[in-house]
Amino acid sequence: MTTVLFNSHDIVLLVTAYICFLFAAMMLLSRHKADSTHFFLGVFLLSQAAISVYVLALYGEAFHHWSVEKIPAIFAMLESVLWLEGPLLLLYVRSAIFQQLHFKKHDLLLLLPLFIYLVVLVAVNIKFEAEQGSDFLLFLRSDYSQYYEHLRNIVRAGFGFWAFFTIRYYQNHLSTAYSNLESVNYAWLKILVIGFIILRLWSESYLLVYTFITAIFDASAVTLIDFNLMGILENYGQLLLVSTLLFFALSDPRNILRVSKETLDGITKADAAKTDIDNTDLTKADKPNTYSPEQITRVCSHMEKQRPYLNNQLKIDDLAQQVSLSPKLLSNLINREFNVNFFEYINSYRLKEVCSYFVDPEMDEQSIIDLAFLAGYNSKSSFNRLFKLDTGKTPTQFRKERLIA
């Protein structure tokens, strides 16, 4: 008679593992140009597939017995993935929002979860010795395991918060580096990271309840709460989260070039220094400049003659290269001389450009949105919002008044 290894709820984990493995293979094996985003997304998806298989091996009754008998090493091996999941999520987030990944000394913290797990694994091999099956599984059944799992859940959620604040830092400084913000905002990624954090905190919440009950009451009191249902709900949430991630990640326009984290950090430090100087009692003439009048003239001349703002993907790296300045110096120049950030500076030129189109008889047959795109805007909604913010009128009202005049 054939042994049934999976029940109906196990199918959710199987589907999650299948989807993650399939798309991870697509990411890692496809022949697109080298892109760290695809690589880290693929590796992160592999971790989610491995976690789904691990949950099946732990809690799927028939599959658990089969795993213990056939491949007992699977428990210690896949447990490591739970510790690597957080760092992989953070690396994927960084690769998605920044142009290049550069590692610094503090990034050694990414290896901390793996180090903790290796220490635990050594301790388990010393203290526990199963006659049959897995030493690590014997440890997970011991009284020590719940405290170990608390630490693991906290670390996993902690990396989720790290990823969240990385995205928030990026979003808070978008206007210093990009001339159009909609396509590089990555609000969807922030929402998904929040979902990841919620799932990890959900795991910790019912483990805390279990620890509290067993510490205060008799062990039989645990049966009053359906912890199995809580785990099943987490599995469904994981499938929803992975499906949403794939939907947005695969539709993410990879043709958009992003700035590097180093560029964003440099601009941010320059802005902070400018704020410190501006808060002093010095007059503008007395405040030190790091740029020359010739460089100011060079930037203004380039904007007027070459009109780089017509490129709807223009970022501060591009303009800095065109005028032979560093992004940090260019940002400082724009902030100090024009009292605006890069986004506002570029869009002020686009506004003048599109207004000139509105009064040009040769442009009468062109629609408003076509003229907006021609001037360098890349979104109808953002164009209408920015235009009304600057002129106090909608583009349609402005154009009608100019035509009547």
- Could you say which of 230, 251, 272 is where a domain stops? 251
pLDDT (0 to 100) of residue 272: 59
Tell me how far apart the alpha carbons of residues 172 and 180 are, in angstroms, rounded to a whole number. 14
Whether residues 195 and 137 share a domain: the answer is yes
| Nearest C-alpha neighbor of 356 from the set 316, 307, 299 | 307
Whether residues 29 and 175 share a domain: the answer is yes
Residue 256 maps to a domain: no
Q: Residue type at 9?
A: H
Whether residues 156 and 44 share a domain: the answer is yes
Q: Following DSSP, what letter does each residue of 310-366 receive, concatenated?
A: GSTT-BHHHHHHHTT--HHHHHHHHHHHHSS-HHHHHHHHHHHHHHHHHT-GGGTTS
Q: Following DSSP, what letter does each residue of 176-205 receive, concatenated?
A: GTBS--GGG--HHHHHHHHHHHHHHHHHHH
403 pLDDT band (50/70/90 cuts)? low
- The predicted-structure confidence for 215-263, as pLDDT tens digits, reads as follows 787 767 767 777 788 888 898 999 999 999 888 887 765 545 677 777 7
Residue 45 belongs to domain spanning: 10-251
Task: Look up the pTM and report it.
Answer: 0.83
Q: Enter the tokens of residue 244.
A: 């949403």
Answer yes or no: is pLDDT of 152 > 60: yes
Residue 152 maps to a domain: yes
Q: Please, which residues bridge with residue 315 across strands?
A: 178
Tell me how far apart the alpha carbons of residues 304 and 289 are, in angstroms, rounded to a whole number. 23
